[in-house]
């Protein structure tokens, strides 16, 4: 019995040690999975950090970025995702990596296949730093919206293969199914091909125009202005540009000052389910719950299951002569005709006097009374009197009468000159 008790004690002790080890390992794993906040950023207590990481399923939301699509990432107000295109290019990409590391910020990178083959160590640096890697075609053509789909598919597939080659054995786990079309030159055939492969297309919500020949100050100004205008979203930058290297520290410092937070995005996997979201969260400006018109239900599309019940009346339903149409007394009471719904409608049941009185009350006598007008005063009579006729001596009437008189005298003179007519003793103009 003593040996049995000792064995049971040792078994419980081992179980306790194993449980403690598992709990410790779980805590370590959870700590590693947590995003780096500003307080956890070594040597930089003023760092903006990464506020949280969201997991997205590319098949559920295949296209994001309001510069081109209705949906964007499910971000809260004042949350920004940093995305960088066209790398890696060591002389500038390494500086971008150093800036992000100093601020404990995680970002999303979209790599060109040729650059990945030329600088594979730059690709592995991104993985080691914990950033998310997507692809950006093999050669960065700016004609994806015009080229044959076979060539576009080759650009996509070759770019993925080149990045995987640079990543090595863990490529399938390290490469995210995220893709950005060069120049954002979208095409339906390209979008359909990427969706068929389960790859999410990333557009953006605001660019900083850092691919243009502008100053780093201008890059900074555009980034902050456009972020402030929308309040949240995906910022499009290029880690190969020196002007971006110069502008990025100020962009991050200003975002921190204005209360913005950086969000990191990773793809869903069998071991990592998507972050639970609601459909409206994928809209940059979801409909307001307080505005009734935005919540009003749509009008349904009605259809009649028994359309024959509403047939049009036949010519025989009418009588008349000379082309007139006079309804018969009983237009729908034909022998052998199937009773229709409208036949029942034609019969109006008589209403009792009591029912009529209750339904349609008789208007009071006072409704029809016309109020008497007060006795008119001389001023009122003058105002209401009709206007006097115009004087007959107006200029136009005087000319008309004069012309008529002269015409009459001319006729009399001509009559007097006729042979055998007695000469007049009076002047043509009167006495």
pLDDT digits (tens, 9 = 90+) for 200-238: 999 999 999 999 999 999 999 999 999 999 999 999 999
Percentage above 70 pLDDT, the chain: 58
φ and ψ at residue 36, rounded to 5 degrees: -80, 115
Structure tokens at 257: 């000052």
Strand partners, 79: 261
> 342 or 6, which is more confident?
6
Q: How far apart are CA 418 and CA 415, in angstroms?
A: 6
**What does the CA dihedral 320, 321, 322, 327 come to, rounded to 10 degrees?**
0
What's the mean per-residue pLDDT of the chain?
A: 78
List the beta bridge partners of residue 54: 265
Average of pLDDT values for 401-410?
63
DSSP, res 175: E
Res 375 pLDDT > 70: no
For 20, the token pair is 């403690």
Q: Domain 34-290 classified CATH 3.40.50.11690?
A: no
Instruction: Please check the confidence at residue 94 and state whether its pLDDT lies above 70.
Output: yes
Please, are residues 294 and 83 in contact by the beta-carbon 8 Å criterion? no
State pLDDT tens for residues 173-187: 999 999 999 999 999
pTM, entire model:
0.62
Question: For position 402, what pLDDT does the model report?
Answer: 63
Domain boundaries of the chain, sorted by first residue? 34-290
Cα(224)–Cα(222) distance, integer angstroms: 6
Residue in the structure block whose two tokens are 């390209």: 190
Residues near 286 by Cβ (< 8 Å), separated by ≥ 6? 280
């Amino acid at each position: 019995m003593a040996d049995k008790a000792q064995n049971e004690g040792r078994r419980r002790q081992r179980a306790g040690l194993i449980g403690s080890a598992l709990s410790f390992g779980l805590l370590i794993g959870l700590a590693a999975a947590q995003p780096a906040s500003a307080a956890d950023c070594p040597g930089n207590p003023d760092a903006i950090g990464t506020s949280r990481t969201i997991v997205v399923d590319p098949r559920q939301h295949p296209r994001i970025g309001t510069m081109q699509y209705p949906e964007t990432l499910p971000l809260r107000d004042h949350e920004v995702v940093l995305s960088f295109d066209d790398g890696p290019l060591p002389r500038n990409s390494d500086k971008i990596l150093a800036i992000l590391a100093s601020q404990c910020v995680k970002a999303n990178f979209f790599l060109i296949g040729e650059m990945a083959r030329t600088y594979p160590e730059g690709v592995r640096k991104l993985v080691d730093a914990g950033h998310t890697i997507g692809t950006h075609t093999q050669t960065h053509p700016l004609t994806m919206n015009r080229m044959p789909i076979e060539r576009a598919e080759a650009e996509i597939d070759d770019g993925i293969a080149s990045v995987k080659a640079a990543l090595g054995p863990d490529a399938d786990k390290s490469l995210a199914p995220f893709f950005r079309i060069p120049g954002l030159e979208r095409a339906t055939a390209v979008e359909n091909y990427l969706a068929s492969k389960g790859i999410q297309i990333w557009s953006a919500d605001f660019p900083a125009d850092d691919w243009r020949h502008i100053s780093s100050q201008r890059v900074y100004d555009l980034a902050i202005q456009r972020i402030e205008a929308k309040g949240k979203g995906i910022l499009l930058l290029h880690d190969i540009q020196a002007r971006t290297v110069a502008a990025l520290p100020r962009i991050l410092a200003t975002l921190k000052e204005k209360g913005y937070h950086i969000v990191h995005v990773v793809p869903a996997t069998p071991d990592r389910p998507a972050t639970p979201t609601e459909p409206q969260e994928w809209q940059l400006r979801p409909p307001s719950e307080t505005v009734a018109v935005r919540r009003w239900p749509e009008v349904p599309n009605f259809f009649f299951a028994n359309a024959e019940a509403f047939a049009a009346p036949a010519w025989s339903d009418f009588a008349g002569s000379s082309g007139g149409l006079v309804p018969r007394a009983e237009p729908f009471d034909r022998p052998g005709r199937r009773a229709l719904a409208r036949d029942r409608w034609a019969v109006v049941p008589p209403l009792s006097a009591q029912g009529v009185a209750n339904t349609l009350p008789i208007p009071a006598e006072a409704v029809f009374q016309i109020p008497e007008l007060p006795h008119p005063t001389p001023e009122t009579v003058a105002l209401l009197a009709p206007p006097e006729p115009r004087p007959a001596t107006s200029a136009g009437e005087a000319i008309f009468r004069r012309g008529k008189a002269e015409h009459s005298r001319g006729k009399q003179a001509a009559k007097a000159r006729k042979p055998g007519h007695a000469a007049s003793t009076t002047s043509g103009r009167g006495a």
